[in-house]
């Protein structure tokens, strides 16, 4: 019998009801779901490809894979980006949940992820029958040699950015032990600290120009407002990508052809990402000082689409306090016990709701 944790967001329902009593309506800063329009060229590409009577390819079209490789070189500085080592996936959450299984993890294998982390890393280990293990340092692992080591920079929920030297140390350690490193990089294009920009695990400063033993996961949900399309990619070690491709072909894990066409346009264009980044920057510039004036301390949060905030009290007390103002935030303990005194504040709300929330604070 498969044992999974309860879905954490269900616990917020009483607080949503409480917030809904506010005369100005709810300001929902809890879930990181995009609210801005999907760019028109991407929607046009989807519509133009809608006559798709045949099966799409699991591997993705050559143009899509080249578009991703071009984006990796152009935006992330991945000089060795290879279209042959790119695989489109049905949203990054699906991939995160099933990667341990697809990579052959099973009973007795350890899957390591950060102590404050997206809950699906833990779920993915459980789905594979492997052992989930939260750890923030290599030393804390002791003699244990994990099958998979998850990185997440910029972090969800904290917005913390791991510097290249730290990532390089993890890669070196993992290669010495035959551990696969998977880097969740879905927020990589939303760094706010110019002195410490996020860097991909596939960048030559981190991996030395070789992608052996490495996989990077990315998503079009946040950068291109395509959460409803379920569009993501995995790339890195060509041997590992080929292994994933073979399993996914057998399992029928295929991105629909119209979505592949839309993804191609999204990866070929940078302008819409810069526009969306500017929207989030404006919202951040309003919400951060508003919460600080209200008595919050913002920790980390140098990248990503969230503020990691605390009033130095149990997180559910903070959730209740804000619910009385009609504001919903994410309790920090959703992401691990270490988050028990923080809340996660999402920037993914309309400008009107940002202004309303700031006024209430």
pLDDT in tens, 205-247: 999 999 999 999 999 999 999 999 999 999 999 999 999 999 9
Q: Are residues 18 and 72 in the same domain?
A: no
DSSP 207-275: HTT--TTEEEEEESTTTSS-GGG--EEEEE-HHHHHHHHHHHHHHT----HHHHHHHHHHHH--HHHHH
Q: For residue 35, is it within any domain?
A: no
- Domain match, 225 and 278 both: no
**Boundary of a domain, candidates 246, 269, 292:** 269
Together in a domain, 356 and 315: yes
Query: Is 222:187 a contact under the CB 8 Å cutoff?
Result: yes
Are 241 and 133 within one domain? Answer: yes
Are residues 226 and 90 part of one domain? yes
| pLDDT for the residue 285 | 97
For residue 298, is it within any domain? yes
* 154 and 293 share one domain: no
Residue 1's pLDDT is what?
A: 63
CA-closest candidate to residue 315, choices 329, 297, 298: 329
pLDDT the model gives residue 136: 84
Give me the residues paired with residue 25 across strands.
none
322 and 287 together in one domain = yes
Would you say residue 189 has pLDDT above 90?
Answer: yes
Average of per-residue pLDDT values in the chain: 95
Please give the Cα distance from 234 to 86 (Å, whole number).
6
225 and 243 part of one domain: yes
What mean pLDDT comes out for the span 50-68?
97
Domain with residue 286: its CATH number is 3.90.1150.10
Q: What is the CATH number of the domain that holds 238?
A: 3.40.640.10
pLDDT, one tens digit per residue, over 98-129 is: 999 999 999 999 999 999 999 999 999 999 99
Q: Which residues pair with 182 in a beta bridge?
A: 150, 215
The answer to whether 58 touches 254, Cβ cutoff 8 Å, is yes
pLDDT at 298 over 90: yes
**pLDDT at position 192:** 95
- Does a structural domain hold residue 322? yes
Q: What is the pLDDT of residue 215?
A: 98
Same domain, 264 and 280: no
Residue 215 lies in a domain: yes
Is 81 a residue whose pLDDT tops 70?
yes
- Give residue 143's pLDDT: 85
Of 269, 284, 308, the position where a domain reaches its end is 269
Q: What is the per-residue pLDDT across 329-338, written as a single tens digit (0 to 9) for each? A: 999 999 999 9
Per-residue pLDDT averaged across 154-181, rounded? 96
Count structural domains, the chain.
2
Asked whether residue 1 is assigned to any structural domain, the reply reads: no
Residue 65 in any domain: the answer is yes
Q: Is 321 part of any domain?
A: yes
Supply φ then ψ for residue 297, to 5 degrees: -105, 130
Task: From 219, 253, 269, give the residue that closes a domain.
Answer: 269
The residue range of the domain holding 216 is 50-269
Cα(97)–Cα(88) distance, integer angstroms:
15
Q: pLDDT tens digits for 9-26? A: 778 999 999 999 999 999
Could you tell me the CA-to-CA distances from 21 to 17, 18, 25, 323, 331 in Å, in that order? Answer: 7, 6, 7, 9, 20
257 and 290: one domain? no
| Same-domain check for residues 176 and 314 | no
In this structure, the answer to whether residues 291 and 245 fall within a common structural domain is no
Say if residue 7's pLDDT is above 80: no
């Amino acid at each position: 019998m498969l044992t999974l944790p309860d879905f954490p967001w269900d616990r917020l329902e009483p607080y949503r009801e409480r917030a809904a009593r506010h005369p100005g309506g709810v300001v929902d800063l809890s879930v990181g779901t995009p609210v801005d329009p999907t760019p028109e060229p991407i929607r046009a590409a989807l519509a133009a490809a809608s006559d798709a009577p045949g099966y799409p390819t699991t591997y993705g079209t050559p143009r899509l894979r080249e578009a991703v490789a071009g984006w990796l070189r152009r935006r992330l500085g991945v000089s060795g980006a290879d279209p042959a080592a790119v695989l489109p996936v049905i949203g990054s959450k699906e991939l995160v949940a099933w990667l341990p299984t697809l990579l052959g993890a099973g009973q007795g294998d350890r899957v390591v992820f950060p102590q404050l982390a997206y809950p699906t890393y833990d779920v993915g280990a459980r789905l594979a029958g492997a052992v989930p293990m939260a750890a923030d340092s290599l030393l804390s692992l002791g003699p244990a040699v994990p099958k998979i080591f998850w990185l997440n920079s910029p972090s969800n929920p904290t917005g913390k950015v791991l510097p290249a030297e730290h990532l390089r140390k993890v890669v070196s350690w993992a290669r010495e032990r035959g551990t696969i490193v998977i880097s969740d990089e879905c927020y990589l294009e939303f760094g706010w600290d110019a002195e410490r920009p996020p860097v991909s695990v596939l960048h030559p400063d981190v991996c030395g120009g070789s992608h052996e033993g490495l996989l990077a996961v990315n998503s079009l949900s946040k950068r291109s407002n395509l959460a409803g399309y379920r569009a993501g990619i995995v790339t890195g070690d060509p041997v590992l990508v080929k292994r994933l491709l073979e399993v996914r072909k057998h399992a029928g894990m295929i991105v629909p052809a119209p979505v592949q066409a839309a993804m191609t346009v999204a990866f070929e264009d940078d302008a819409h990402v810069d526009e969306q980044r500017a929207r989030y920057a404006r919202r951040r510039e309003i919400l951060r000082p508003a919460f600080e004036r209200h008595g919050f301390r913002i920790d980390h949060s140098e990248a990503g689409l969230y503020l990691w905030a605390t009033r130095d009290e149990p997180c559910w007390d903070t959730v209740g306090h804000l619910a009385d103002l009609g504001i919903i935030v994410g309790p920090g303990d959703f992401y691990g016990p270490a988050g028990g005194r923080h809340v996660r504040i999402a920037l993914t709300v309309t400008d009107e709701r940002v202004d309303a929330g700031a006024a209430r604070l």
